[in-house]
């Protein structure tokens, strides 16, 4: 059973990675819209979330952001990060660049010390204005789970048949390392087929890509809450540490959530 964020602005909630985080959901309030359909998604399958496909308007988002941030300011509630995540992929919102500009202005006025974080699956980096908007925030956290198309098709289930990892990598190069790479590691059985992020060829391909992109930070994580597929398992922190070893040696900051 999928659980959704039922408001545009939620929290602040305590995040292990981001501290006191005020969440922003640019997707429907009772459903999910995403360009991936990851087997580990905490919002459940896309097919379960189609009862509501209404994306909030630019004005509704601006109003919710203003209200949420002013209320936190009035109550002296500390905010370390204004975090775009929610019920799907935030950069699918047609007014994403305008929303980021608005958020930056409000943050500068009310919480100048807070950072803005966007958790994105990097599928929309080719859309006009998206990369530029992500460059304006302190934490563009961009997901790439692997470089092997067969593996990514099983794990992330891209909804666009033309999804192309090479294209994503070339967009990521545009950031010149000024982004955070996020990768999920897990293992399990999907439709009777075993998958394992730690398989040596998959891991080597991922390490090569990460070394080439040289992001300022790499966030590795594994399953936390119950995924939509019960046949999946966590990998251990030690395995993730070993996977990140060459990156660490190359001077990339590594953050692991087990």
Q: How far apart are CA 105 and CA 139, in angstroms?
A: 16
Min dist CB 121 to ligand SF4, Å, is 4
Min dist CB 32 to ligand SF4, Å, is 7
Q: Which of 8, 24, 41, 133 binds ligand SF4 (CB under 6 A)?
A: 41
Q: How far apart are CA 230 and CA 91, in angstroms?
A: 29
> Binding to ligand SF4 (CB under 6 A): which residues in 56-115?
88-89
Q: Which of 38, 79, 141, 218 binds ligand SF4 (CB under 6 A)?
A: 38
Q: Which of 5, 10, 36, 111 binds ligand SF4 (CB under 6 A)?
A: 36
Min dist CB 225 to ligand SF4, Å, is 11
Pick 111 or 221: Cβ nearer ligand SF4? 221
The 217-221 sheet, strands edge to edge = 9-15, 19-24, 81-84, 115-120, 139-143, 180-184, 217-221, 253-257
- Examine residue 122 and tell whether it contacts ligand SF4 (CB under 6 A): no
Instruction: Return the closest-CA partner of residue 155 out of 222, 210, 93, 91.
Output: 222
Residues 6+ apart with CB under 8 A from 17: 219, 255, 257
For residue 34, what are the CA distances in angstroms to 1, 27, 86, 119?
A: 17, 9, 10, 12
**How many residues touch ligand SF4 (CB under 6 A)?**
9
Pick 184 or 252: Cβ nearer ligand SF4? 184
Pick 142 or 202: Cβ nearer ligand SF4? 142
Min dist CB 31 to ligand SF4, Å, is 12
Q: Which of 121, 182, 197, 222 binds ligand SF4 (CB under 6 A)?
A: 121
How many residues in the chain? 258
β-strand partners of 233: 187
Pick 89 or 239: Cβ nearer ligand SF4? 89
Q: At what angle do helices 58-74 and 96-110 cross, to 10 degrees?
A: 20
Min dist CB 245 to ligand SF4, Å, is 26
Pick 114 or 184: Cβ nearer ligand SF4? 184
Neighbours of 16 (CB within 10 A): 10
Which residues here bind ligand SF4, judged by CB under 6 A?
A: 34, 36-38, 41, 43, 88-89, 121
């Amino acid at each position: 059973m999928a659980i959704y964020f039922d408001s545009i602005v939620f929290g602040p909630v305590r995040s292990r990675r981001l501290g006191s985080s005020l969440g922003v959901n640019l997707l429907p309030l009772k459903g999910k819209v995403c360009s991936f359909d990851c087997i580990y998604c905490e919002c459940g399958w896309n097919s379960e979330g189609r009862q509501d496909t209404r994306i909030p308007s630019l004005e509704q988002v601006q109003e919710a952001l203003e209200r949420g941030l002013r209320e936190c300011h009035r109550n002296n509630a500390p905010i370390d990060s204004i975090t775009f995540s929610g019920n799907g992929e935030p950069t699918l919102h047609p007014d994403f660049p305008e929303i980021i500009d608005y958020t930056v202005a409000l943050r500068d006025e009310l919480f100048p010390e807070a950072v803005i974080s966007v958790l994105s699956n990097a599928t929309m980096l080719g859309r006009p204005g998206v990369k530029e908007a992500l460059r304006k925030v302190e934490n563009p956290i961009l997901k790439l789970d692997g470089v092997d198309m067969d593996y990514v098709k099983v794990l992330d289930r891209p909804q666009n048949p033309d999804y192309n990892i090479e294209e994503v990598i070339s967009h990521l190069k545009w950031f010149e390392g000024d982004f955070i790479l996020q990768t999920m590691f897990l293992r399990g059985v999907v439709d009777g087929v075993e998958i394992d992020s730690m398989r040596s060829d998959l891991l080597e391909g991922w390490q090569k890509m990460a070394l080439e992109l040289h992001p300022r930070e790499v966030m590795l994580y594994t399953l936390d809450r119950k995924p939509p597929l019960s046949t999946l398992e966590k990998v251990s922190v030690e395995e993730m540490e070993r996977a990140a070893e060459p990156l660490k040696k190359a001077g990339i900051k590594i953050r692991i959530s087990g």
